[in-house]
Chain A
Amino acid sequence: MDKFTTLTGIAAPLPMVNVDTDMIIPKQFLKTIKREGLGVNLFDEMRYDRQGNEIPEFVLNKPQYRDAEILIGGENFGCGSSREHAPWAIKDFGIRCVIAPSFADIFFNNCFKNGILPIALPQEQVDILMKDAEKGANARMTVDLEKQEITTSDGEVISFQVDPFRKHCLLNGLDDIGLTMEKAARIDAFEANLEQSRPWV
């Protein structure tokens, strides 16, 4: 997995509540058997018309946000289906950090597995970042995972919380499966016990 340490980049504002994973990546793109290449279809139905032309008003189509690496969203971001295609598309587009007042559980989890840092902050702080993002391409923010701090283009510092284990994995680019495999003896022991206690499983 790719490491995440610090990121300085353009933040795109998307002030919508309940952005669901169907919006992030509609189902017609779930037919892939690969993880890559979904970035062009990120937010497909909001981003393109039926003929495949870009809709100029959509934030990621605006010249100043085409290279955004941070996305600022509204409440309950990533609700809906468990499709990991959503974080894959976000990452493939080039976004490595999503900031919102709250996230849906599975999406939040899926982000970490793909080297994306999701940050939940109180609404007032998201509002500050949203305003900063609205300034466009000159307003680059910095997200420092080690220090757990976001610095706005004006130098305002906002700190954030992150689960220590997930932070450790992101900072070091650790793969969960490898980590768990180190606990194989414990899993063996659990299974041996299971044979006795719940043999029907």
Chain B
Amino acid sequence: MTAPKTLYDKIWDAHLVHEAEDGTSLLYIDRHLVHEVTSPQAFEGLRMAGRTVRAPDKTIAVPDHNVPTTLDRANGIKNEESRIQVEALDRNAKDFGIHYYPVSDLRQGIVHIVGPENGWTLPGMTVVCGDSHTATHGAFGALAHGIGTSEVEHVLATQTLIQSKSKNMKVEITGELRPGVTAKDITLSVIGRTGTAGGTGHVIEYCGEAIRELSMEGRMTVCNMAIEGGARAGLIAPDEKTFEYIKGRSHAPKGAQWEAAMEWWKTLFSDEDAHWDKVITIRGEDIAPVVTWGTSPEDVLPIDAVVPAPEDFQGGKVEAAKRSLDYMGLQPGTKLSDVEIDTVFIGSCTNGRIEDLRAAAAVLKGKKIKAGLRAMVVPGSGLVRAQAEEEGLADIFQEAGFEWRLAGCSMCLAMNPDQLAPGERCASTSNRNFEGRQGYKGRTHLMSPAMAAAAAVTGKLTDVREMM
């Protein structure tokens, strides 16, 4: 009998090309996703060395970070550097013969939304991208993680990656979520509990009843932020919901191949007695709708809490909290629900999928946003956008006073013109509240789409449960 394995162990073993004595391993990569920001230097490296892309049909590229999301973008990208970067990807995709979704393609969108949506991401695969939120794809039971540009070049040239194995960490969310609590609240609460370095050196597998109950969209939200918890990747074992989501997508296997794939996919779970290096258990019932108050994703509190004081912390975190509070312009003891906002951003690879838009629209239906507020919805892909229009969600957003944008990363990292002004405070469904992330001196509060919608209505951080 073989020793019991975790899901991570199983995927790892199935992709091992070579293992050196010291444990340094060469791992085969099934899918390589590429965007415009982290790839130009890699393609340039290939050219300089006279190398080609080893497996162009396993390589998928889409521009997302720099693209404007305003409706006039067909007229071209005004910012010269952004335009050059996107044009470089256009050219590289063509020269090296990889799958490509240009800005003009309806299916264009954020790379981590485009991959699953078109059936590129499948259970048991290894998926990499020069982007830390590659962890998103772990929702399908794929081992997915971010890599640097040198590694992008390495994968392009060899379809492999040099890796050493991480440790196994289990995060179990038991029981049921309470009303108003979503996947975003789960993932933020886990980071609040373990800290941004809690998962360092580990691959996390999320499990438990509350995780099983989540839709695929929700599972992607959870895995997306595994990186904010410091983990190399997040995983969720595939189940009927996973297979249902994949079936029929354009690049998913069909016919006999589908049957063969299913046979393997069904073996992808952690064995009963598998070894875990770290286990965290949280009761679903104990998770509240949360927001962040500081400049690290671990600065998480339930919406009914108050802004903490630096003395509430220990070690280096005391100074960090002081700096955060100063940056965020918050006084200890202030009720979070009294904090007024200027902007609302709904979108990103964390919460730019159809279910996220549905959740926000459900709160906004028949309501108006607070006068003077700037609010925008940026769907994660052109397909999400089209579906939301079909379902009438776009109308709800627009009637409420939201701008209805085209797909891209947008204000998640503000590389395009969608930025916060200094001091501007934003309720955001994205994943990072770092200093300057959404614009120089901009202030970010992370939360779920439903919470962001509630904040849009009142103009303050708001407990969505009061509006349900």
Report which A residues bind B (CB closer than 8 A): 15-18, 20, 22-23, 26-28, 30-35, 45, 50, 74-76, 79-84, 87, 102-106, 109-110, 113-114, 163-165, 176-177, 180-181, 183-184, 186-187, 190-191, 194, 198-201
Contacts and interface: CB of A to CB of B under 8 A. Distances in A.
A87 B41 CA distance: 14
B197 interface: yes
Contacts of B124: 198
A187 B28 contact: yes
Interface string B241-265: 0000000000001000110110010
Interface of A is mostly: loop
Nearest to B128: A82
Interface residues of B, number: 74
B84 A33 contact: yes
A106 B132 contact: yes
B95 interface: no
A16 B320 contact: yes
B317 interface: yes
11 contacts: A16-B316, A17-B320, A27-B415, A82-B38, A87-B148, A109-B148, A113-B151, A165-B22, A187-B17, A187-B160, A199-B257
Interface of B: 17-18, 20, 22, 24, 26, 28, 30, 37-38, 40-41, 44, 49, 51, 54, 58, 65-66, 79, 81-82, 84-85, 88, 122, 124-125, 130-132, 145-151, 153-154, 157-160, 162, 164, 196-197, 200-201, 230, 232, 253, 257-258, 260-261, 264, 296, 315-317, 319-320, 323, 413-415, 432, 434-437, 440
Contacts of B131: 81-82
B154 A177 contact: yes
Nearest to B415: A27
| Nearest 5 A/B pairs, CB to CB | A200-B253, A113-B150, A31-B81, A33-B40, A17-B316
Given A18-B296, A79-B196, 5 more contacts: A20-B296, A33-B88, A84-B41, A87-B148, A177-B158
Given A104-B197, A201-B30, A201-B125, A83 B317 contact: no
A45 B435 contact: yes
Contacts of A22: 432, 434-437
A114 B197 CA distance: 23
Contacts of A187: 17, 26, 28, 54, 158-160
